[in-house]
């Protein structure tokens, strides 16, 4: 079945002033659509490949265009900011996710610091993740390079650190973008992923 570009669950300008309409339109309509198109092409080529060598040669394209998976998660990961009176973005309520964050990091502020420091340290392009370790059932901060999907953990929160996600607004200052994005993180969606991933069981 062909992959398609998902609709955003909010308007392109809904995340302002933290992420501009211009960035959201370009990021969604152009960049994500490109990953969708390329993934479909790679999957079609893989289906037609007649030798193991041909299939192996297509692995990199399939992996890179896992950007479709990452971006589909990323859009749901965001919500209009509660600080702007627009939605629930940036608000962490009492519940399993808050308990898990406090257990693993001591506080939300500590998580933000560790996440931002780790993610800002990515050389080149990649993604910063808050993931659930399936073995320990604890939250951990980790990163993936390029458009590699997170396979070692259950993804709870993912942040795109490719320049197309922030350059038009924050130029090359990744730290400003990372500080701002917490105002539009959809913690309700993150909590849902945590519970579905079994991370609430041991809390």
- Residue 203: pLDDT above 70? no
Q: What is the pLDDT of residue 175?
A: 96
* Residue 17: cis peptide before it, omega within 30 degrees of 0: yes
d(CA 66, CA 158): 14
Q: Is residue 71 annotated as involved in ligand binding?
A: yes
d(CA 156, CA 199): 10
Which DSSP string do the residues of 13-57 spell out, in sequence order? Answer: TTTTTTS-HHHHHIIIIIIIHHHHHHHHHHHHHHHH--SHHHHHH
Q: Is residue 27 annotated as involved in ligand binding?
A: yes
72-82: per-residue pLDDT in tens? 999 999 999 99
- Residue 202: pLDDT above 60? no
Q: What is the pTM of this model?
A: 0.87
126-142: per-residue pLDDT in tens? 999 999 999 999 999 99
């Amino acid at each position: 079945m062909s992959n398609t570009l998902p609709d955003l669950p909010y308007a392109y300008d809904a995340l302002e002033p933290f992420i501009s309409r211009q960035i959201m339109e370009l990021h969604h309509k152009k960049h994500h659509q490109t990953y969708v198109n390329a993934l479909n092409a790679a999957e079609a080529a893989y289906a037609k490949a007649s030798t193991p060598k041909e299939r192996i040669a297509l692995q990199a394209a399939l992996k890179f265009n896992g950007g479709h998976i990452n971006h589909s998660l990323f859009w749901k990961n965001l919500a209009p900011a509660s600080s702007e009176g627009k939605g629930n973005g940036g608000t962490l309520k009492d519940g399993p996710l808050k308990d898990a964050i406090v257990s693993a990091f001591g506080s939300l502020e500590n998580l933000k610091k560790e996440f931002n420091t780790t993610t800002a340290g990515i050389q080149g392009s990649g993604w910063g993740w808050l993931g659930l370790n399936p073995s320990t059932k604890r939250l951990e901060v980790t990163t993936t390079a390029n458009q590699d999907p997170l396979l070692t953990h259950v993804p709870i929160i993912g942040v795109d650190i490719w320049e197309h996600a922030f350059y038009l607004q924050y130029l090359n200052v990744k730290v400003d973008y990372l500080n701002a994005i917490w105002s539009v993180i959809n913690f309700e969606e993150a909590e849902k992923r945590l519970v579905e991933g079994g991370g609430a069981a041991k809390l």
